[in-house]
Amino acid sequence: MAKITYIDHEGTEREIEAKNGETVMEVAVKNGVPGIDADCGGACACATCHVYVDSAFLDKVGSPEAMEQSMLDFAENVKENSRLCCQISVSDALDGLKVTTPESQH
């Protein structure tokens, strides 16, 4: 289990209790967190689940694999701490994770 905080682009925070094994994207979508479209449902095919990972957790979430990285290279407003959150699996180590959603996924 891990508590994950989703922050929208205006700064509104929402904390959600997430089960291990789910992805950070799934937790958001199933709980109706706005700002994450995830059109492809987690196949790393669409780049509409872009988030900024809190710098304290960058090591814990690991680095993106090649396919995710090349999708991210073309996302809008991409930063050093950008990730596609369908590729981040929840684990105990991510307890307290904060991710911020961009203003738009398209």
Partner 1 sequence: MALSDTDTLLIIGGGQAAAQTIAGARQWGFAGRIRLIGEETALPYQRPPLSKAYLKGEMEEERLYFKPADWYAEQNVELSLGVRAEAIDRTARSVSLSDGSAADYDALVLATGSRPRPLPLTGAGLEGVHELRDLRDVDGLKPVVVTGTNMVIIGAGYIGLEAAAVARQLGANVTVIEMARRVLARVTSPVMSTFYTRLHESHGVKIMTGAQTEEILGTNGQVTGVKLVDGTRLEADIVLVGIGILPNQELAQAAGLACDGGILVDEDARTSDDRIFAAGDCTVRPLVHYSRTGRLESVHNAIEQGKLAAAALTGRERPKLDVPWFWSDQYDVKLQIAGLSQDYDDHIVRGDPESGAFAVFYFRSDRLIAVDAVNAAPEFIVTKKLIISGQTLAPAQLQDTSVSMKELAALATA
- Chain residues binding partner 1 by CB under 8 A are 22, 26, 29-32, 34, 39-41, 43-47, 67, 70-71, 73-74, 106
Secondary structure in 3-state letters for 79-96: CCCEEEHHHCECCHHHCC
- The length of the chain is 106
Nearer to partner 1, 13 or 39 (CB): 39
Nearer to partner 1, 59 or 66 (CB): 66
CB of 3 to partner 1, least distance (A): 18
CB of 56 to partner 1, least distance (A): 28
CB of 99 to partner 1, least distance (A): 20
Say whether 34 sits in a helix, a strand or coil: coil
Nearer to partner 1, 11 or 21 (CB): 21
Question: Are the beta carbons of 13 and 38 closer than 8 angstroms?
Answer: no
CB neighbour list of residue 57: distance below 8 Å, 6 or more residues apart: 94, 96, 97, 98
- The residue written with tokens 């929208």 in the block is 8
CB of 84 to partner 1, least distance (A): 11
